[in-house]
Amino acid sequence: MGNYIIYAVTLILLIISFLKDKQKTKNALKKAWKSFENILPEFLGVIMLVGILLVVLNPQVISAVIGAESGWFGVILAALVGAVTLIPGFVAFPTAAMLLQNGAGYMQIGAFVSTLMMVGIVTAPVEIKYFGKKLTIARNVLAFVFSFLVAYIIGKVAGGI
Amino acid sequence: MKFIKRYNFFLITIGIIGIITLINRSVGIKAIGVAGYSLKEMALVIPPVFILLGLLDVWVPRETMVKYMGEGSGIKGVILSIILGSAAAGPLYGAFPIAAVFMKKGVKFSNILIFIGAWSTTKIPMFLFEMSALGTKFAVTRLLIDIPGIIIIAYILSLLMQKEEIKEIYKKAENM
């Protein structure tokens, strides 16, 4: 749904741009292609890596490590799983809900969801290409640590303690 | 030769999937299936993002961006960065090329980092989805911790980076 809106908006803007100035529009498309081509090798590598990781870390494995009563050890594992996987939200949230129903703790799920969104080990090559090694590592480490705070508070609030 | 050097990471991952497939056919095919699915997702999201970026680059003058999100844009720049990041759809790697164009247009470094943070975790379309899947309490709590969190992380990162290193990153964005 969101994708179609982006496509529609892009198309409309492109048409307006073309009507206003052909040369500028041509330049815009050239720039778009140049920046896309620039990052393509990293994108393709990341996509294949996601394929490999998701067959290793399937839902059964994930649910085994962050199940009920796993405590802080489970939180750490959940955070690690979230950090290395790259699952789109519309798959991740139902999966997280399913894990909760099967007895996973709120704290563990909080850590999993938080690192899943903020920490990207698999996408690091793309991030490094734009921001360099130092910033990429620092950002991911900070986000990882921050996720434990998120997990703790979610555990308190949503877990109802 | 240049091709192999540029695509070595991609070629290695293809090799690994090939080896997995030789060892266990069904697991290998599943990995290819997942990769194919991600490729489709990328094909859907990425082209319009880059075209929008091209248009932004050509049509929006640097002064406008500096005024709203550059040095001295203050709280206005922070809020705008959060809104822009939160309104977005698509995976985190979609945010990096946008950040590069923002840098080209003179957006302040901490605002770039806030934008990346918001994109990663306070996205509105995802928030609605999270609420329905994990409950209002879970989603709202996470949002309320995340907003100050991403701002604090952005400022810590800005402090960690030397002026020279930031300049280097901006220079790199210029050639992206």
**Three-state DSSP string of chain B:** CHHHHHCHHHHHHHHHHHHHHHHCHHHHHHHHHHHHHHHHHHHHHHHHHHHHHHHHHHHCCHHHHHHHHCCCCHHHHHHHHHHHHHHCCCCHHHHHHHHHHHHHCCCCHHHHHHHHHHHHHCCHHHHHHHHHHHCHHHHHHHHHHHHHHHHHHHHHHHHHCCHHHHHHHHHHHHCC
- Boundary (domain end) residue, out of A16, A40, A56: A56
Nearest to A36 among B27, B50, B130 (CB): B50
| Among candidates A31, A113, A125 on the partner chain, residue whose Cβ is nearest the Cβ of B9 | A125
Query: Are residues B10 and B89 part of one domain?
Result: no
Q: Is the dihedral of CA A112, A117, A122, A125 positive or negative?
A: negative
The label of the residue with tokens 């070595």 reads: B8
**pTM for this prediction:** 0.81
A104 touches chain B (CB under 8 A): no
Mean pLDDT for each consecutive 10-residue tract of chain B (176 residues)?
A: 84 92 92 86 79 89 90 94 86 88 94 96 84 90 96 97 94 87
A137/B contact by beta carbon, under 8 A: no
Tokens coding A108? 């563990």
Say yes or no: A63 contacts chain B, CB-CB below 8 A.
Answer: no
Contact B15/A at CB under 8 A:
no
More confident position, B60 or A92:
B60
Amino acid sitting at position A118:
M
In a domain, B50, yes or no: no
**How close does chain A come to B50, measured CA to CA in Å?**
5
Residues A2 and A64 in one domain: no
For the segment A97-124, the average pLDDT, to the nearest whole number, is 88
A4 lies in the same domain as A42: yes
Residue A67 domain boundaries: 59-160
Judge if A118 and A50 occupy the same domain.
no
Q: Which residues of B touch A43 (CB under 8 A)?
A: 42, 46, 93
Is B96 contained in some domain? Answer: yes
Is residue A69 domain-shared with residue A144, that is, in the same domain?
yes
